[in-house]
Chain A
Amino acid sequence: MSLPAAAMNVERQLLLSEIAEFNAAYAHCIDDDQLEQWPEFFAEDCEYQIIPRENVDLGLPAAIVFCDNRGMLIDRVVALRKANIYPAHYSRHVLGAPVLLDADGRGLHSQTSYVLMLTRMDGETRLFSAGKYVDVMVRENGVLRLKNRSVVFDTHRIDTLLVTPI
């Protein structure tokens, strides 16, 4: 990653604030438990994965969540609501500022750090996951959507289980 150009032009600043706003809405959607809306942040033809940084560094493809279309995102939410048994919890995402890496024919390439705090029913808030989003966003009818979100997490020793998306 290189230093941002000294003279940032206005168009770039607008894009960055748009991405930041998108990410903030995405995080609040999860943290406010509006998970049924969460797949709408993605393009129909999309990829979403949550993958340990350790696997990425080793060039290994297995993830802890890997969806390669929007339908699979919906399946994850339905499983969480109807099938899965897990400790009830609140999620709290804290996001860093996005970095715009590239804008090309495929979309906007950006990267954003996150920390995810989890509060289970004992009331204690624990750092559950730290990592980054590696994103490609596209514009559909003027609205940004995720073509690709790779959640690469540093905290590769998971505490018990992961059910709620990051």
Chain B
Amino acid sequence: MNAPIQWPKAVNEIPKAIFTDAALYEREIETIFHGAQWHALAHRAEIANPGDFKTMLLGRMPVIVANGEDGKIRVFFNSCTHRGNQVEMASCGNRKAFECPYHRWMFRTNGELAICPGSEEFSPGFDKKDYGLRELRTAEFCGLIFATASADTPALESWLGAVAGTLAGALGGDGRLKLLGYQKVRYASNWKAYSDNDGYHAPLLHVGFRLLGWQGGQGSQKPTPNGHLAFESQLKPVVNRDFLKDPSLIDLKATDPESGSLIAQLFPHTVITKHMDVINVRFATPISVDCTEVHYAYFSHADDSEELVRHRIRQSSNLLGPCGMVSMEDASIFNRIHIGSFTPGNAKFQKGVKRTDEVWFDVKQNDESGNLPKWNYYCQLMGFQRSEVA
């Protein structure tokens, strides 16, 4: 039996045990993933046509994100209202209706139960109207579809708060996107280590930036009290273009260098980024205490020329993500944080820490203290009590 986790007094410290504790992970699934938070499950561009759908997990609960024949996007539990069978197995596709193969109940794309064989012998008072696929609360922001299993989740706009502007920018301003494809990966890491990337590491960990003489320009980092984090920064011109045989890969063709890098990290663990000409949404799913699956979805904008789309495909396929030349290091770090977290004690944040008795929100671009409001929020949400003594 593990000793109970002691949350430290100093706000710049977190217990390493929270990354490895299986019982805590179970509580997180209930409290966070099945609880009063919005979770980004799809972008409209992935299911652009009536009948298009995508399946996902919301915590442990399988869901279907469906574009109805009426053009409305809904999120359903992927569970037949008869005996609970998983209705849809494909990761995405297009259907006229969802049919459960077990007893052939058939649901319309708006969720209504259309057919249930043998219903004349069903229980007294059975009414098809009561047996539509169960729908979750949904909301949309620049085409990004969110769902929540809780009635207590605040309205999406207020939940997003100050991160909304960066998020809109990262989604191309208006969210009129087209899907370019997926990179899917599993990290041997707890979801919290995956989503704890900071403003401090980028120029240090990612040697590619240094070799290219490509240090970031001016920028800002804005945390919100409910665990989101928005980064905006300039992209300065690359000094050592000759380092690459084909430097056209890192050209900016549609992006203003003044806001060349936008990152919206949404609590608990969705990242939306527009970096160079890459438009990327990272849909993450906790699989277990030591495994996190991430689907990197890449997009072009609806107004792009054919040439620009090709440029976006080149950048999307080579720069960011788990196989990206300038950022695959993050993947290594996620796994290594996890292994290191089986040792006793606390992880300690230092860069930009001005005080340790309470959290604050004016952080600089390259501080790691921007993550502290999120940790404070997490600590409260999960009901930890801070130690009285240091």
Determine whether the beta carbon of B181 is less than 8 Å from that of A85.
Answer: no
Determine whether the beta carbon of B207 is less than 8 Å from that of A82.
Answer: yes
Q: How far is the CA of A54 from the CA of B185 in the complex (A)?
A: 13
Q: How far is the CA of A60 from the CA of B179 in the complex (A)?
A: 7
Determine whether the beta carbon of B249 is less than 8 Å from that of A84.
Answer: no
Beyond A62-B181, A158-B183, whether A83 also contacts B246 by CB under 8 A is: no
Task: Give residues 23-71 of A contacting B (CB, 8 Å).
Answer: 49-52, 54-55, 58, 60-71
Interface check A139, CB cutoff 8 A:
no
Interface check A97, CB cutoff 8 A:
no
The one of A63, A157, A161 in contact with B331, judged by C-beta atoms closer than 8 angstroms, is A161
Interface check A96, CB cutoff 8 A:
no
Instruction: Looking at the assembled complex, report how far the CB atom of B69 sits from the nearest CB atom of chain A, in whole angstroms.
Output: 21
Determine whether the beta carbon of A71 is less than 8 Å from that of B208.
Answer: no
Among residues of A, the one whose C-beta sits closest to the C-beta of B295 is A157
Determine whether the beta carbon of B328 is less than 8 Å from that of A64.
Answer: no
Interface check B244, CB cutoff 8 A:
yes
Beyond A65-B318, A161-B332, whether A79 also contacts B186 by CB under 8 A is: no
Q: Which B residues are in CB contact (< 8 Å) with A71?
A: 244-246
Among residues of A, the one whose C-beta sits closest to the C-beta of B309 is A61
Determine whether the beta carbon of B245 is less than 8 Å from that of A72.
Answer: yes
Determine whether the beta carbon of A64 is less than 8 Å from that of B211.
Answer: no
Q: Which A residues are in CB contact (< 8 Å) with B243?
A: 78
Determine whether the beta carbon of B185 is less than 8 Å from that of A161.
Answer: yes
Among residues of B, the one whose C-beta sits closest to the C-beta of A158 is B185
Determine whether the beta carbon of B246 is less than 8 Å from that of A158.
Answer: no
Beyond A62-B317, A66-B317, A82-B207, whether A157 also contacts B184 by CB under 8 A is: yes
Determine whether the beta carbon of B325 is less than 8 Å from that of A84.
Answer: yes
Instruction: Looking at the assembled complex, report how far the CB atom of A64 sits from the nearest CB atom of chain B, in whole angstroms.
Output: 4
Interface check A74, CB cutoff 8 A:
yes
Beyond A83-B207, A160-B185, A162-B323, whether A65 also contacts B317 by CB under 8 A is: yes
Determine whether the beta carbon of A85 is less than 8 Å from that of B246.
Answer: no
Beyond A63-B317, A66-B314, whether A58 also contacts B246 by CB under 8 A is: no
Q: 1/0 per position for B183-222, CB-CB distance to A under 8 A?
A: 1111110000000000000000111100100000000000
Q: Which A residues are in CB contact (< 8 Å) with B7?
A: none
Among residues of B, the one whose C-beta sits closest to the C-beta of A68 is B314
Determine whether the beta carbon of A61 is less than 8 Å from that of B318.
Answer: no
Q: Which B residues are in CB contact (< 8 Å) with A87?
A: 332, 335
Interface check B2, CB cutoff 8 A:
no
Task: Give residues 151-208 of B contacting A (CB, 8 Å).
Answer: 179-188, 205-208
Determine whether the beta carbon of A75 is less than 8 Å from that of B325.
Answer: yes
Q: Which A residues are in CB contact (< 8 Å) with B92?
A: 58
Q: How far is the CA of A72 from the CA of B314 in the complex (A)?
A: 11
Q: Which B residues are in CB contact (< 8 Å) with A58?
A: 92, 181
Q: How far is the CA of A82 from the CA of B181 in the complex (A)?
A: 28
Q: Which A residues are in CB contact (< 8 Å) with B318?
A: 65-67, 72, 76
Q: How far is the CA of A104 from the CA of B138 in the complex (A)?
A: 53
Determine whether the beta carbon of B323 is less than 8 Å from that of A65.
Answer: yes
Q: How far is the CA of A55 from the CA of B182 in the complex (A)?
A: 7
Between B187, B245, B316, the greatest number of chain A beta carbons within 10 A of the residue's beta carbon is seen for: B245
Interface check B33, CB cutoff 8 A:
no
Instruction: Looking at the assembled complex, report how far the CB atom of A118 sits from the nearest CB atom of chain B, in whole angstroms.
Output: 14
Q: 1/0 per position for B289-321, CB-CB distance to A under 8 A?
A: 000010000100000000000000110111001
Instruction: Looking at the assembled complex, report how far the CB atom of B68 sits from the nearest CB atom of chain A, in whole angstroms.
Output: 21
Chain A interfacial positions (CB closer than 8 Å to B): 49-52, 54-55, 58, 60-72, 74-76, 78-79, 82-87, 156-163
New contact pairs (20) apart from A75-B246, A79-B325, A158-B322, CB-CB < 8 Å: A52-B181, A52-B184, A58-B92, A61-B313, A62-B183, A63-B317, A64-B321, A65-B318, A66-B317, A70-B245, A71-B244, A76-B318, A83-B326, A84-B325, A84-B329, A86-B331, A160-B187, A161-B331, A162-B323, A162-B328
Nearest 3 pairs of A and B residues by beta carbon: A62-B181, A71-B245, A66-B317
8 pairs, CB–CB < 8 Å, chain A vs chain B:
A58-B181, A60-B181, A61-B313, A62-B182, A83-B325, A83-B326, A157-B184, A158-B183
